[in-house]
Each structure stands twice: as C-alpha cells, then as structure tokens.
Amino acid sequence: MPCGGGDVGLNVWVEKGDLLFYMSRSGVFDENNIFPKLGRVRVRLSPNPFEEGGSFQQELKLEEGFVKITGTKGKLSASVNVWVDVFRPVVHVDVQGSSPVSAQAWYESWRTAPSELTGNARSASSYKWAAPKVSVFPDSVIQESNGVFFYHQNRDLTLFDVIVRQQQLDPIKSKLWNPLKNLTYGGWMSGRDMVVDRKVVIGKYADAPFKGFGLKTKSPSKNIQLSIYFHTDQQEDIAVWKKGLLETVSKAQQSYKTAFARTREWWKQYWQRSYIALNVSKKDSASPVWQVGRNYQLFRYMLGCNAFGNYPTKFNGGLFTYDPVFVDSSYHFTADHRNWGGGVFTAQNQRLVYWPMLKSGDFDMMKPQFEFYQRILGNAEARTKHYWGHNGASFTEQIENFGLPNYAEYGSKRPAGYDPGMEYNKWLEYLWDTSLEFCLMILDQQHFTGVDITEYLPLIESCVVFFDEHYQYLSANRSAAKLDQNGKLVLFPGSAAETYKMAYNPVTTVAGLKTVLERMLALPPQYGSKAQRGRWNEILTRVPPLSFREMQGHRTIAPAQVWERIQNTEIPQLYPVFPYGIYGIGKPDIETAINTWKYDTEAIQNRNHTSWHQDNIFCARLGLTEEAAALTIKKLQDSGRRFPAFWGPGHDWVPDHNWGGSGMIGLQEMLLQYVGDSLYILPAWPDDWDVQFKLHAPKNTVVEGEWKAGKMVSLKVTPEDRKNDVIFSK
C-alpha cells in the first residue's frame, strides 16, 4: 500500500504481525545512477495485536494521506498511523494501544557490504546491458545516541565521469553540471523513550539478505512514537552533511504537534482541487466503470506523494517500486531494482506522467519536471556546441539526470569515425523532439494560469533553435543548399517516435515545431523582444508541412514524407491529435485524423492499451466515444495486484506510472476539451456513465459538474463569464 507526502514514498504492509515499510525519496542516486531505497523499517509490538487469531484492518485514508492499521487480539486493541510529513522529509509511526505495549523497531539494510549486479539486475543502473557487472558500494549504518544513523556518500568516480569520457566530452568537462559528485543521502531513526538494541539482526527477505539495527522502548506504553528523518545534499564533508540532517531533526521535532494536522489539511485541499468520480451513487467494486473512477484517484494520490520532489516522478515506478521477485519470479534482486534505470528519464514516458496535471490543477507539482530540463539545459547546449559548433539544446530520448545520453543507449561498441554527438542505437538515433512536448507543457501552464514563465523562455527557445540550426548544419554537410526548394528545413535524418526510423520530415518533429512556435508567438507581449519574436516567426516559416497518404481509400496523416524502416509499436501519425492538438474536436479537417485511426493499417496493427500507449487519448480527442470508453476501462480497471493502481510491468516496470498517467489523460479528455476560448463538455462521454468532476481549463477556469442518468444535473464554471464559452457535446 503506497503512503507518502512531499517527496517521500513508502510501501506499507503487515506480515506475520510485523509492520514493514520501504522508504524512497526523490533525488537519491548512487554512483551508478541507481535510484535506491533508503531502507526498510520493521516494527513489532508486544503483546502483538496484529498476529493471527485476532481482527485486523489496514486502510489508506486517502482524503487525509496516511495509512491506518488497527488490530485486536484478546483484550488488547491497538492502532498505528503511518504518515509522511508533506512539508518536511520525515516519516512518522504513531502507535496507540488500549493498554501498554512494548515496541521494537529495526532499520533494515541490504547494502551493508560491497556487491555486484549481473545479468538483468544491471537494468537498475545506467550501465544496463553495456557492462559485464556493476559494482555497488555499501552504505554506512551506525547505532548511536539512542538512534540509528544511516547514509551513503557517492565515491569520487561516478557514472558522470564515465559518461563524459565515453562521449568524448573531457575538453568541456569543467563546464558540465554534475549532480552525482559528493551526493550524500540518508537519515536518522529514533523514537520517543526508545533506546538502542545493540544486537544486530541478520535475515533474508524476498531474496535479499539484510541486517537489522534495532531500537526498543524503555518500558511499555500506551503511546509510542517512531520517526525517520532524511537529508540529501551534495556535500564533501560528512560532518557538515550530518549537521544538516540534525537541523531537519530539530525542526521536525519542534513542529511535531502540528505536523500531522497540517499534512492532513494539505491532502484535503489537494482533493478539493480536482476530482473525477464515477457511479458514486451505485458503488460496485466489481464494476470496471466504478474501478476507473476509483483508480484515477489512487493514481493521483501516488503522484501527489512527490509534489515537492527535486526530481520528476519516475515513469518506471515512481517512489513505490518493491521486491522485483513479486513482479517477475526470475528476478531475484533487491528492492532497489527497476527496469530502465533509476537516474534515466525516458522522455516519451515521463511526459505522460505530467500532462494530466494541467487539467487536475496540480500546477505546482509540474515544477520538478520543468526544473529537470532547466538544470540540464547548460549541459545540453554545451554538448551541441562541442560536437557540431552551433547553438541549441540537444536533449536525447533516454537522458541521464545530468542531461547527457544514457551510457548503454549511447553505445559502447561504436564504429570508428561515427559522430560522437549521436547515439549509436537503432531505436534512439535522431530521436530528440520529445523535448518539444515539455516546452508545450510550460506554455500550456502559462495559458492555464497566467504564471510568469520568463525563466523557462531560454529553455523553450533553445529547444527550437536546435532543430533549426542542426538540420541546416546537416544539410550543409551533404549539399550546397541548407533548405529545400520551398525554403523549408530538411528534417533528415529524423525519427517519428521510435517507430519510423531514418525519416524525412517526421510528423512528430513537424507538429512539435509548428505548435510550439505558434504558441511562443501567441504569448503575451512581455515575452521575447522584437528581435526574438522575429526570429521565432522566421523559424516557423521554415518548418515543413505535415505529410499525408492514402490508406484503404482514405486520406490519412503520414508518419513522415518517407522513412527507411518501421521497428516499434507507436502511432506517431496521431501526435498531431495528441499532444500537439492540430486536429481534434472543433478543429478543421478532423475527418483526416479520424481516418488515420480507422484506416491506417500500420496504426491499426499497433493499437494497444498497456503502458505508454495513448490510444484512449487519441479516441477521446477525436470524439470516438465508444472506443475511448472501452480503452479507458482497459487502462484504469484494477491492476490485478493487491493495490489496484499498481499497473504493469507493461513495457516498463511496476507500478507503471506512464500507464496510469495516460489513463488519467484519456479520462480527462473524455470530459473536457478546449479549442481557443471554447470549452467542450462531455465530448466523448458515454450516456450511461454517471460522473461528478472538477477540472481545470485555460484562463484560470474551473469546470465542475455532474452527469447522471443521461442528463447534466449541474454545471458550475468559474469565472462565471466563461460559462458563455461552454459547448455541450451531448
């Protein structure tokens, strides 16, 4: 069961009478760019009300953001609240018994000695298959001063140094930002009236040997309180780092009396921002439609647990991965494992985690994703200038947390003379246009809220400039002409997602450049000087048009003008529908986009609902109600795991956050779409799905309503004058 807040996530469960939870925190990366857990905590009460033979219940108190565990055995009843302070990186365990109990607590670590990752276990690191083995350095765990102190400090040589050398960037290394150097993370576990138990426990859990470092209560009590405090910093001196940790401890202890109330209030306000609830008056946990509404909320809860993270919520598990043997019985690894790496942020996947936050009004939660690109902008521009001598940020698809291509995907066995700026990788070569989606997200947030995005304008401009300058650079290297006969860019070689490779004018790049540049020019006049805007317009005039083709006798959007090969299962020819919104309800020539969904045989072959597939979103935006509803059910119905929103592994891992994110987006699009000032209500909504909803729209607009028994029971639009822009699609 997930539990979290701020930037900390827990997996909470009770097993054989013991309370256990894994701990994760945003921004924790080791030397190999693994995203490790911060350990596991085990709590045992004596006498134990949670042992077999009594009554037991564990509940995620969704509205207030904590886990409550209750049990009764004989005359003893006890309850335990497990919660994370939203405003400080602290985990709390509060025990209340009907009569005094004793408690033991262990900080459990499986990283107390050096180890090696081999085989599929290497996928947790950025080395993946490209290294025969990956050496993992141990943490330090010390029992002192009635508490357990644990930390990891990255050694001098990290993945950053290895990648800089691999990618021939040593001449500019001093200019590159390195977030792994001296990165130190860990924490302190202590409890009220608890003392150290010097006996170290040795055990094994789910294939991973561990050591447990214990605390115990001085005497039985009706009220027991245990806390774990975290601190992360790039700090060479451990003493200075520890001082920072102790400051966190001191501040948290001073505010403890009000912290739980403040945390619960934050969660209550979070749920008041936005919601989609289906079939509220006829609750049926076996109903796939009811499950869609419930699981939408559960997934949004998991996203809220990293509201204030230093790094974006990871697409491949977020803060809530767990023992891999329960995902794949052949994966006998530690709980630190996740496929596709811990410090690698795959752009095509990450975007689906963040797009739904616009309509759910979670604008503050988008900052970690925007800041991710903002921090690595300098590195992306520096590599462009170093390799090719021109301007612009080259953001690759599988990108490390410091902005350079992933070690394994870059290619360790490369032909002599191959362009060092390119990934030698048939899946990812020339795939760098996903950065345009994040530019559009920033522009959309400004459109929704009016927030000042001046700080991000250099990022957006740099992404656009890269395509303009790089493709003229490539053309000049093979021809005396930099542009085609119509004065347009020759976007070759390109890539339409990972599917249409060595493409000429790929649809994703054309649609992305066209949409982002038009939105830049539509910004309020305070954004960009006259000279800047002149350049934006000039680049826009060089963007080539979309390509079309006939499929089964119908005009459809083509994935590119031409291409060399097809090798994946995406449908990039519908990216002009989502995310770029060139086609859709209320827009010209929607029939061509609908034809693409219906008659493009390659698109039909690649239809899918799992993981990052976006078919539900495409259908919703095209007003294909029956298809959108069926696909949304497949997306958001119960996962089949104990926690119903732990989908996956799909193409990635468990929980699959781009699975949940794409499900959220599709459901939102079924309820509310906008074109210009027009607000389309229920554009792809089944008559027999009852719904209560509250969603956000551009110009600081909030739309609340209830559709019940085939009728709109209520509709509230704020501000009120925006109600004139409503168009009912029923």
The answer to whether position 549 is within a domain reads yes
CA angle 210, 216, 221 (to 5 degrees): 140
- The string of DSSP letters for 237-278 reads -HHHHHHHHHHHHHHHHHTHHHHHHHHHHHHHHHHHH-EEEE
CA–CA dist 555, 474 (Å, integer): 32
Q: Which of 273, 306, 333 is the last residue of a domain?
A: 273
Examine the domain organization and report whether 41 and 159 are in the same domain: yes
User: What pLDDT, on a 0 to 100 scale, did the predictor assign at position 316?
Assistant: 98
pLDDT at site 194: 97
- Asked whether residue 245 is domain-assigned, the answer is yes
Q: What is the 3-state secondary structure (H, E, C) of 24-81?
A: EECCCCCCCCCCCCCCEEEEEEECCCCCCCCEEEEEEECCCCEEEEEEEECCEEEEEE
> Backbone phi, then psi, for 584, in 5-degree steps?
155, -175
CA–CA dist 359, 664 (Å, integer): 10
- Both 267 and 375 in one domain: the answer is no
One domain for residues 254 and 387: no
Domain, as residue range, for 260: 2-273
Percent of the chain with pLDDT over 70: 100
Q: Is residue 669 in some structural domain?
A: no
Q: What is the pLDDT of residue 145?
A: 83
Q: Tell whether 257 and 157 lie within a shared domain.
A: yes
* Separation of alpha carbons 248 and 242, rounded Å: 10
Number of domains in the chain: 2
Name the strands in the sheet holding 275-278, side by side, starting at the edge strand that comes first in the sequence: 275-278, 691-697, 701-708, 711-718
Regarding beta strands 90-109 and 40-46, do their DSSP bridges make them parallel or antiparallel, or are they unpaired? Answer: antiparallel
Look at residue 588 and tell me whether its pLDDT is greater than 80: yes
Distance, CA of 318 to CA of 69 (rounded, Å): 24
Q: What CATH number is associated with residue 91?
A: 2.70.98.50
CA distances from 192 to 95, 96, 101, 429 (A): 11, 13, 14, 56
The answer to whether 590 and 622 are in contact (CB under 8 A) is yes
* Alpha carbon distances (Å) from 335 to 12, 117, 154, 646: 14, 13, 20, 16
Query: E strand or H helix at 693, and its extent?
Result: strand 691-697
For the chain, what is the mean pLDDT? 97
Mean pLDDT of 687-709: 97
At 53, the pLDDT band (50, 70, 90 cuts) reads confident
- How far is the C-alpha of 340 from the C-alpha of 129, rounded, in Å? 10
Helix (H, G, I), strand (E, B) or coil at 711: strand
Distances (CA, A) of 57 to 63, 644, 704: 18, 17, 34
Please report whether residue 407 resides in a domain: yes
Q: pLDDT of 704-722, one tens digit each?
A: 999 999 999 999 999 999 9
The whole model's pTM is what?
0.97
Q: Are residues 362 and 231 in the same domain?
A: no
- Is residue 696 in some structural domain? no
pLDDT of residue 380: 98
- 254 & 357 share domain: no
Does residue 82 form part of some domain?
Answer: yes
Which residue is it, tokens 């000429």? 504
Question: For 112-139, what is the mean pLDDT?
Answer: 97
What are the φ/ψ torsions at residue 426 (nearest 5 degrees)? -70, -20
pLDDT digits (tens, 9 = 90+) for 1-32: 999 999 999 999 999 999 999 999 999 999 99
* Domain membership flag for residue 544: yes
CB 364 within 8 A of CB 266: no
Q: Which helix (H) or strand (E) holds 630?
A: helix 625-636
Tens of pLDDT, residue by residue over 403-461, are 999 999 999 899 999 999 999 999 999 999 999 999 999 999 999 999 999 999 999 99
Cα–Cα distance, 47 to 35 (Å, whole number): 37
Report whether 128 contacts 183 (CB < 8 A): no
